[in-house]
A and B are shown apart, each in its own frame.
Chain A
Amino acid sequence: MEAETDSLTEQETAVYDRQIRVWGVEAQKRLSKSRVLVVGITGVVAEVCKNIVLAGIGKLTLLDDKPLSEEAVASNFLIPFFSTEDEGCCSIASICAEALRDFNPMVHVFVEEGNVIEKPGSFFDDYDAVIVGRSSLGLRKHVNLMCRNRSRRVAFYTVDCRGSSGAVFVDLQKYAYSSQKGNAEIWQEKHFPNLEEALSVPWSSISKKTSKLFFAMRIIEEFEQCEGRVPGQISCEDLPALMALRKKMCESQAVGDSMVPESVLKRLADAGNAELPPVCAIIGGILGQEVVKAMSCKGEPLKNHFFFTASDGKGVIEDISPSQ
């Protein structure tokens, strides 16, 4: 009987056949034992959830007490047809959990209530990865540190889609992974900075070829923080203030304004809290893949930022880490 627990069930073998051919049985077994926490459900996060549930993680916990609203539904296919009578009836997390359970009955999907900021450190001991959706910089840093302070490694991701652009951040701490070199399996290691460290890299030391979105997102989050806005509560009317902030931040970082073109800032401001669904699918696909890799310890992870914007169609990996 012991052997049973260690091999995939007949059902797993049948359903996961095509992906086992991509990442192998061992990776699938590790994946099926992994536990993932998701904080804040937007359209792009719904895509990530779908992807990792289909891949067959062990357990997914959703944390988002926000009540159902028309805006939450816009780019989230996990929420069934929405009528205004349903508004505020139940949390986004509980509705999405239902849809996700249906996608793959082999994955346990739970809903956690409350606010993540109030969760004790021990709460994070139960997870192997934490994904944080759109939220303030302060909250993201807080959750990142909570993950860092565990005795076991807890992978940390943030993801945000703003209109036709989006960004992913990855902190896998000290991470060992296997990859295929010819016929041999080799193990390698990567070291990741945490969010605080990654964002403290002086702009003047960052390559000019780096995606403009990196800098633009910093200005947006700084603006939202200073103005006390809910992340995403921003519009084209804020552009003059954003331009002023750009000048200030670029000066203090000793770089020229051209590091952050106005067009990029304008696009992000115009987007407000909307997410373009195809961009959600793209960024949610990239992040879903990264979570699968990290939970199965298989395949080279991206380090440590990923940016996509529909305007040029490029999906770029940027490694922005403090020099050793």
Chain B
Amino acid sequence: MASAEELAAIKKAKILMVGAGGIGCELLKTLVLTGFRDIHLIDMDTIEVSNLNRQFLFRKHHVGQSKAKVAREAVLKFRPDVNIVAYHANVKSTEFNVEFFQNFHVVLNGLDNLDARRHVNRLCLAAGVPLVESGTTGYLGQVTVHIKGKTECYECQPKPAPKTYPICTITSTPSKPVHCVVWAKELAFTRLFGDKNQANDLDSQTKEASSASEQQVLPLELQEGESVASFAFRVFDYVFGHNIEAALKNEDAWKSRRKPVPLYLNKILPNIAEEFKGSCENGARPENSCSAMSVLGLKNPQEVWSIEDNARVFLKSIEILYATKSKAIGTLVFDKDDQLAVEFVSAAANIRSYSFGIPMLSLFDLKGIAGNIVHAIATTNAIIAGLIVLEAIKILTSDFNHSRMTYCLEHPSKKLLLMPVEPFEPNSSCYVCSQTPLSLEVNTSKSKLRDVVEKIVKAKLSVHSPVIMQGSNILYETGEDLEKDMVLLYTSNLDKFLVDLPTPITNGTVLSVEDFQQEFSCNLHIKHRDEFDEEKEPDGMILTGKWLTSQTPEQQLNVPGGPTEGNNVVEAVAGETKTINDELQEVDGDFAEILEVNTVADKKRKIQDEEQAQKRMRVSLDER
């Protein structure tokens, strides 16, 4: 049991928990049982059905409610005498500033995305509060300890970049199911149901075609007086028939590739008009149909459906989306918890796969790819939560010498399933905790300030409300208390090329980037470069610097295309559904949730890296 000293520290500790999901539920329970009495809990999410297999503080009737609030109530039922403060809010919101973080003795993270983790890391550094960080995927998990000045911060090691695909692979030459999923989600779904103003390649091939033909019917727009069913038929033939036919005209592209087959509805489902006529009379009513597969009588989402059934699901999902969400059409964003969106994207991906001779997959598997779904089980989360509490106790009793990072493995490594490793020292070239400058290679006469702000400052550096300065001149800033004329100036700056700014940014310029909430600042050294590879460097700019080159060789292996180590990681993550996870690893277009996989990759690196530490460990094992 905990010693008297530990119990005293536990009793008076004030804890901040960020995240009340898989790890959070387990963590809150374990903290309270251990004797912690003052816990603040932040989570912006609401409860979903797919949480219930592991987030045991939640019940079916809680679906849709705040995770933080329901978790609090559930725990008070078995320990009514503890103080739990629940915030149904985004940890990035301004109320959680440095002063707020300073109220706590330790911060415990159970987050699911890199951006929020970085944000919390910076606030902890600024507030001088120790952070215990964690992550899991399937059987794998890790707990790390970050104490300012003593151990590395969460950002001391660069995280592997998420996989992106060359645009032409997605639009023209897919070779894997994942390429078709990205196409279905990013192009087809967005073009039909999302923001039509976004540039979209679905239309591009038709520009010549439609200007050549005299017809004024826009192929992907519902015409006045047209039934949704016949619109859906038209979309099918256009996207899977016409567009493929147009692509085939570019014969050079298919010299060394298998040619796709144009698909037309009258070949695949010759009687579809008849078939859907009948179903329209009784089906597609909003109240009984939020799922195309159930309307069509398809029961098993784990089964790979025929091309005919995929075509039916494609058509039916369009029909029901129009019937049930007509007002939202034009603003929809793909959501993995929206059954119809998942059905549309899976069917579209499969039909495209079929056309290109790529294996079709089940809706279940495609949903995993499209939604970047992290595999999660209760047991790993429980183990990780237990380890977090043990580390928190060491921090509270200032027992820093015994702080450990711990990896939870699927297969034992030298008999160990739970492997503790001594924390790393701070990385002296870290741009976050050591304020080491970064360099930005960019074409200063072709890139706009907006590109730097969106693609680098926000997306790569996770700075949410940036102030960008050159010397003492502010080039960009956001905030509610700004004067109107300043807002106008900053907005107009965004659309200027770097060299055209009031104080031009050219080769050798040093920009300073600050975020007052994060109390973060870093310098960006600008290096002008004329040319960028459109496929490999789609941003048209690249971050460099000592921090990024200080990564270990093992880490570089995690970069897509690297040799075996990366694959081992996939294998370790994949467990049972190897191929799917292989895809999952690659589809990480958006940062959210991928981090779980990255942390595991990171883990592998460290394990490999830590032969020394292992030797130390073996020594200490012998001693005991």
A residues near B (Cβ < 8 Å) are: 7, 13-25, 27, 43, 47, 50-51, 54-56, 74-75, 77-81, 102-105, 163-164, 180, 182-183, 208-209, 211-212, 261, 263-264, 270-272, 274-282, 284-286, 288-289, 292, 298-300, 302, 306, 308, 310, 312-318
Stretch from B75-83, B92-100, B281-289, B345-353 that touches the partner: B75-83
| A–B pairs, 21, beta carbons within 8 Å | A7-B300, A14-B50, A15-B49, A15-B53, A19-B53, A22-B575, A77-B32, A105-B60, A180-B576, A183-B579, A209-B618, A212-B624, A272-B1, A277-B386, A289-B377, A313-B390, A314-B416, A314-B419, A315-B408, A316-B621, A317-B415
Bound together, the chains give a CA A31 to CA B561 distance in angstroms of 37
Query: A313-B390, A313-B420 in contact; A51/B412 too (CB < 8 A)?
Result: no
Bound together, the chains give a CA A315 to CA B52 distance in angstroms of 28
Closest Cβ neighbor of A276 among chain B residues: B1
Question: Which residues of the partner chain A approach B406 to less than 8 Å between Cβ atoms?
Answer: 313
A274 to chain B, nearest CB (A): 4
B154 to chain A, nearest CB (A): 20
Other-chain residue from A15, A23, A281 in contact with B382 (beta carbon distance below 8 A): A281
Closest Cβ neighbor of B367 among chain A residues: A17
Contact B375 A308 (CB under 8 A): no
Determine whether B383 belongs to the interface, using a CB cutoff of 8 Å to chain A: yes
Bound together, the chains give a CA A137 to CA B27 distance in angstroms of 33
By CB atoms of chain A within 10 A, which of B377, B390, B417 has the most?
A: B377
Contact B621 A75 (CB under 8 A): no
Given A55-B53, A81-B80, A285-B382, output 9 extra A-B contacts at Cβ < 8 Å.
Answer: A18-B377, A22-B138, A51-B379, A81-B79, A105-B60, A277-B389, A281-B29, A314-B617, A316-B417
Bound together, the chains give a CA A192 to CA B299 distance in angstroms of 41
Bound together, the chains give a CA A29 to CA B33 distance in angstroms of 33
Closest Cβ neighbor of B79 among chain A residues: A81
Question: Which residues of the partner chain A approach B617 to less than 8 Å between Cβ atoms?
Answer: 314
Query: A22-B139, A274-B1, A282-B383 in contact; A308/B418 too (CB < 8 A)?
Result: yes
Q: Mark B367-391, 1 if CB is under 8 A from A, else 0.
A: 0100001111111111101111110
- The 8 A-B residue pairs with the shortest CB-CB distance, nearest first, are A315-B418, A281-B386, A285-B383, A277-B33, A313-B420, A282-B386, A278-B389, A274-B1
Contact A19 B52 (CB under 8 A): no
Other-chain residue from B1, B301, B376, B579 in contact with A19 (beta carbon distance below 8 A): B376
B289 to chain A, nearest CB (A): 15
Bound together, the chains give a CA A21 to CA B56 distance in angstroms of 19
Closest Cβ neighbor of A213 among chain B residues: B624
Contact B78 A209 (CB under 8 A): no
Query: A54-B53, A55-B378 in contact; A180/B575 too (CB < 8 A)?
Result: yes
Closest Cβ neighbor of A287 among chain B residues: B379
Q: How many A-B residue pairs have CB under 8 A?
A: 203
Closest Cβ neighbor of B409 among chain A residues: A315
Closest Cβ neighbor of A7 among chain B residues: B300
B406 to chain A, nearest CB (A): 6
Question: Which residues of the partner chain B approach A80 to less than 8 Å between Cβ atoms?
Answer: 77-78
Determine whether B165 belongs to the interface, using a CB cutoff of 8 Å to chain A: no
Bound together, the chains give a CA A315 to CA B143 distance in angstroms of 14
Determine whether B529 belongs to the interface, using a CB cutoff of 8 Å to chain A: no
Closest Cβ neighbor of A21 among chain B residues: B375
Bound together, the chains give a CA A20 to CA B624 distance in angstroms of 40
Closest Cβ neighbor of B581 among chain A residues: A21
Question: Which residues of the partner chain A approach B77 to less than 8 Å between Cβ atoms?
Answer: 80-81
Contact A23 B575 (CB under 8 A): yes
Contact A15 B420 (CB under 8 A): no
Contact A314 B50 (CB under 8 A): no
Q: Which residues of B in the span 502-556 have a Cβ within 8 Å of any Cβ on A? A: none
Q: Mark B27-68, 1 if CB is under 8 A from A, else 0.
A: 001101110000000000000011011101001100000000
Q: Mark B597-624, 1 if CB is under 8 A from A, else 0.
A: 0000000000000000000011011101
Query: A277-B33, A278-B390, A281-B30 in contact; A302/B417 too (CB < 8 A)?
Result: yes
Contact A313 B417 (CB under 8 A): no
Question: Which residues of the partner chain B approach A306 to less than 8 Å between Cβ atoms?
Answer: 417
Determine whether B2 belongs to the interface, using a CB cutoff of 8 Å to chain A: yes
